């Protein structure tokens, strides 16, 4: 590794404002901004095992198949016009790659994020990658990052992929000096955004399909047990995939609220295992409220030599107000979403990670109570109010004794 500055990854649950940071860093004179590398090369995490074969060297051809290959989930989405909004490769009729050919993984976002001459860069990169001797996967990808860093005259690289919080254990193990900027946003806003985002919808659909089938239908022609797929997932098998089927997928914000909580629980546990000086936690809401100190702190974390007031001014000026908020939802949906995000808020609180701006994470006081007495209310319909009250009392007893600082 030639970079003297230890690698930095911006991680988060996804839909948490990390793309904004990637775009800001791209404008920094000393830092190479690698956007959506992990998402693209793992094909929404579906190809993680192929991208990072455990303990096995990866040769040049394998590495190039990962970087420059056409991956099945991305290709299906592209062919049916439901690619991620973040995709930067221009799908013009004159483009080298199009909806029918598919777009190589690293051309989805990562290279067009760096230059308009991405096709030529793609060819240059292929020539470089084909010189690789077999080595562990992550070392090969770091070679690519450092080659790009040198190519663009930068002194450090920062990789940022949406939803990469769950990759922290692997990243920390593969790159022992790696550091992490963890961007946190109110789970309810993340979940709403995820439920509308094609990448997250695809990831969730594939997770559910894989779990029901026991194999990944995007990686094999095997179709054992497809009769067990509910119709909405059956229609998303590669051979049936269509834009309409994808649009009709029922994946509401509450589902992603549960997912967000799970990611936060797992992610904070992994980050807590690292030395404190290798992790910086930033709240999206804090950046919106007071961008400059937080942006300054972020580049200082990457390397103190990168603090550049002009960049801070320019980056802060790019911030736009957030258009939607969970507070705009109908009351019942707010309540369901808050319930789903409660475990995530609790674990943030446990780690002392509330935002400075306040008000973003706390749940209504009644949410935790309602969550616990709900079964009793249901029970009351069957066994009568008396038994249900006894249960509610028992539950409330646990709430007050176990959660003195209900978040």
Partner 1 sequence: MTANHFVTGGTGFVGSNLILELLAERGTAVYALTRRSSRQSAEDRLQSALRHAARAAGYDDALDHAIAERCHAVEGDVLSENCGVTTGGLPRPDQFWHVAASLRYEERYAAEIFRTNVEGTRNALALARSSGVDRHFNYVSTAYVSGCRMGLIREEISSGQTPNNPYEASKIQAEGLVQQSLDLRPRIFRPSIVIGHSITRRVSSGFSGLYGFIKRVLRLRQLLDRIQDGLASRAGLRVIADPNALLNIIPVDVVARQLVRIGRSGSRATVFHITNPTPPPAVEVSRVIFRELDLPQPVMVSDSAGMNWIEQKVEEGLGFYKSYFRGTRVFERTNSDWTLGVSVPEPGYRMDSATVAEYVRWYADVLRGTTDLLPAAEAAAA
Where along the sequence are the contacts to partner 1 (CB under 8 A)? 14-15, 18-19, 36, 38-39, 42, 44-46, 48-49, 84, 86, 109, 161-164, 166-167, 170, 197, 199-200, 202-203, 207-208, 210-212, 214, 227-228, 230-231, 234, 250, 252, 254-255, 258-259, 261-262, 265-266, 336, 339, 343, 375, 378-379, 381-382
Least distance between partner 1 and beta carbon 291 (Å): 21
Distance CA 146, CA 194 (A): 32
Q: Which is nearer to partner 1, 199 or 355 (CB)?
A: 199
Contacts of 54 (CB under 8 A, 6+ apart): none
- Using alpha carbons, select from 164, 119, 127, 168 the residue that is nearest to residue 144: 127
Least separation, in Å, of the C-beta of 31 and partner 1? 19
Nearer to partner 1, 6 or 23 (CB): 23
Closest approach of partner 1 to the CB of residue 74, in Å: 10
Give the closest residue to 8 by CA, choosing from 294, 278, 284, 304.
278
Q: How far is the CB of 136 from partner 1 (least distance, A)?
A: 17
Question: For residue 39, what is the enclosing H or E element?
Answer: helix 37-41
Pick between residue 2 and residue 211 the one whose CB is nearest to partner 1: 211
Nearest distance, CB of residue 193 and partner 1, angstroms? 10
Strand partners, 302: none
From the list 14, 105, 23, the residue with the least C-alpha distance to 64 is 105
**Shortest reach from residue 92's CB to partner 1, in Å:** 22
For residue 327, give the nearest of 188, 190, 193, 196 by alpha carbon. 188
* Minimum distance of partner 1 from residue 44's CB (angstroms): 5
- Residue 44 tokens, joined: 């929404």
| Helix/strand/coil for 15 | coil
Q: Could you tell me the two tokens for 334?
A: 């707010």
Nearer to partner 1, 76 or 312 (CB): 76
CA angle centred on 34, ends 33 and 38, rounded to 5°: 155
In sequence order, which residues have a C-beta less than 8 Å from that of residue 29 and are 6 or more positions away?
Answer: 154, 308, 311
> Nearer Cβ to partner 1, position 179 or 258?
258
Q: Which is nearer to partner 1, 255 or 396 (CB)?
A: 255
Q: How far is the CB of 264 from partner 1 (least distance, A)?
A: 9
Centre a 10 Å sphere on the Cβ of residue 182 and count the other Cβ atoms it contains.
Answer: 23
Name which of 30 and 112 has its Cβ closer to partner 1: 112
If the CB atoms of residues 30 and 187 are measured against partner 1, the closer one turns out to be: 187
Q: CB pairs under 8 A, 24+ apart, for 245-249?
A: 246/77, 246/80, 246/82, 246/198, 246/201, 246/202, 246/205, 247/82, 249/201, 249/205
């Amino acid at each position: 590794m030639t970079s003297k500055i230890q690698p930095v990854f911006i991680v988060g649950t996804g839909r948490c404002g990390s793309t904004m940071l990637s775009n800001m860093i791209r404008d920094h004179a000393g830092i190479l901004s690698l956007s959506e590398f992990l998402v693209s090369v793992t094909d929404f995490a579906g190809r993680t095992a192929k991208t990072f074969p455990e303990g096995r060297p990866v040769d040049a051809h394998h590495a190039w198949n990962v970087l420059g290959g056409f991956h099945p989930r991305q290709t299906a989405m592209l062919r049916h016009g439901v690619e991620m909004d973040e995709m930067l490769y221009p799908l013009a009729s004159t483009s080298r790659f199009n909806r029918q050919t598919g777009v190589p993984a690293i051309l989805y976002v990562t290279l067009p994020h760096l230059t308009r001459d991405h096709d030529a860069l793609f060819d240059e990169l292929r020539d470089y990658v084909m010189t690789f001797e077999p080595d562990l996967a992550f070392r090969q990808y770091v070679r690519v990052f450092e080659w790009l860093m040198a190519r663009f005259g930068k002194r450090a690289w920062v990789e940022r992929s949406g939803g990469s919080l769950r990759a922290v254990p692997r990243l920390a193990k593969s790159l022992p000096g790696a550091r992490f900027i963890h961007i946190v946003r109110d789970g309810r806003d993340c979940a709403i955004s995820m439920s509308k985002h094609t990448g997250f919808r695809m990831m969730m659909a594939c997770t559910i399909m894989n779990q029901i089938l026991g194999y990944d239908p995007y990686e094999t022609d095997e179709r054992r047990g497809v009769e067990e797929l509910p119709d909405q997932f059956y229609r998303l098998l590669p051979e049936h995939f269509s834009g309409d089927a994808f649009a009709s997928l029922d994946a509401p914000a509450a589902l992603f609220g549960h997912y967000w909580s799970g990611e936060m629980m797992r992610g904070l546990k992994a980050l807590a295992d690292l030395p404190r000086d290798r992790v910086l936690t930033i709240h999206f809401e804090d950046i919106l409220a007071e961008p400059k100190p937080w942006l300054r702190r972020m580049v200082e974390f990457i390397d103190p030599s990168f603090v550049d007031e002009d960049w801070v001014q320019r980056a802060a000026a790019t911030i736009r107000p957030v258009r939607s908020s969970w507070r705009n939802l109908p009351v019942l949906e707010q309540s369901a979403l808050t319930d789903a995000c409660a475990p995530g808020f609790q674990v943030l609180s446990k780690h002392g990670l509330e935002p400075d701006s306040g008000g973003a994470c706390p749940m209504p006081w009644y949410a935790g109570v309602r969550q616990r007495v709900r079964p009793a209310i249901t029970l009351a319909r069957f066994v009568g109010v008396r038994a249900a009250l006894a249960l509610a009392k028992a539950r409330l007893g646990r709430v007050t004794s176990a959660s003195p600082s209900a978040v």
